[in-house]
Amino acid sequence: MPAPLDRIRVGSAPDSWGVWFPDDPVQVPWDRFLDEVSEAGYDWIELGPYGYLPTDPARLTDEITRRGLKVSAGTIFTGLHRGPDVWDSTWEHVSEVASLTQAMGAKHLVVIPSFWRDDKTAEILEPSELTGEQWGHLTKGMERLGHEVRERFGLDIVVHPHADTHIDTEAHVERFLDSTDADLVNLCLDTGHYAYCGGDSVKLIETYGERIGYLHLKQVDPEILADVVKNGVPFGPAVARGVMCEPPAGVPELGPVLQAAQKLDVDLFAIVEQDMYPCEPDKPLPIAARTRRFLRSCGA
């Protein structure tokens, strides 16, 4: 049995139950998600898409408390590379999510950049590479967001590199980190998305350890990924093919990732996120329970 990873707090998220949208007929109801995530052995959850779980703080507190759960973070989507004109609409969305996140006692806001390719229709929405001016908007906008979220809500933002967004590959992630203030902006390292985009999670943790503020645990199936890359398959259809797989069947190996994170000697959330949209309603619970047992075998 490996040494206990006592700085790592494991949780799961609606994503691991096939939930990508606030309301979608193919998704499991929110109360079933809460019942099953607790049954699978997790103590921590994320809010998921705003509006999926109840947004009234008193009601949500009651629902999660009676299941022995706590909230680690909320999630927002942003398009800050588009410049100052999008700030007001961005802040309106951020304020809703951050207010509920704060009310639930969480300390993190996971920030996902907007997609350049639609994850449902695969429509190309804008170029996949940013101009220098857009990089400036993105980095300065994230720093402003980090400052405002901390001042207004007492939360830290952690930016999530994500497939089919402008912060995806090792080069883009490093450029983003090198261009932003560590006091205002840190990273939510999603091991699956980073591997999907060709990155090495252990190397990133060892190189930019002080910037790792949060983890999402996920694996990719290398064979499916190779076909996805070869044929330029968009992220949504790739997920439907099963590119994100149950550990320990895929890459990266999660044991070494967790050990590298433990060596940072800071408390970190490690939230399981196995993209499975869409999926059969009875599929997530057994996978979630097996994944929790696997992570315990890694010491987490």
Residue 11 contacts residue 40 (beta carbons within 8 Å): no
**What pLDDT, in 10s, does the model give residues 227-257?**
999 999 999 999 999 999 999 999 999 999 9
User: Residues 6 or more apart from 108 whose CB is under 8 A from it?
Assistant: 72, 73, 74, 101, 155, 156, 157, 158, 188, 213, 214, 269
pTM greater than 0.85: yes
Percent of the chain at pLDDT above 70?
100
Amino acid present at 196: Y
**What pLDDT, in 10s, does the model give residues 162-194?**
999 999 999 999 999 999 999 999 999 999 999
**What pLDDT, in 10s, does the model give residues 252-287?**
999 999 999 999 999 999 999 999 999 999 999 999
Question: pLDDT tier at 120 (50, 70, 90 boundaries)?
Answer: confident
Quick one: tokens of 160? Answer: 């999530």
> Is pLDDT of 225 > 70?
yes
Question: 288 - beta bridge partners?
Answer: none
How far is it, in rounded angstroms, from Cα 203 to Cα 69? Answer: 32
**What pLDDT, in 10s, does the model give residues 45-104?**
999 999 999 999 999 999 999 999 999 999 999 999 999 999 999 999 999 999 999 999
Percent of the chain at pLDDT above 90?
96
Does the bond joining 54 to the residue before it have cis omega, within 30 degrees of 0?
no
- The per-residue pLDDT for 1 is 64
For the chain, the maximum distance between any two Cα atoms, rounded to a whole number of angstroms, is: 53
DSSP state letters, 153-212? H--EEEE---TTBSS-SHHHHHHHHHTS-TTT-EEEEEHHHHHHTT--HHHHHHHSGGGE
- The per-residue pLDDT for 238 is 95
How far is it, in rounded angstroms, from Cα 16 to Cα 288? Answer: 7
Amino acid present at 27: Q
- The per-residue pLDDT for 122 is 80
**What pLDDT, in 10s, does the model give residues 139-148?**
999 999 999 9
How far is it, in rounded angstroms, from Cα 147 to Cα 242? Answer: 38
- The per-residue pLDDT for 118 is 86
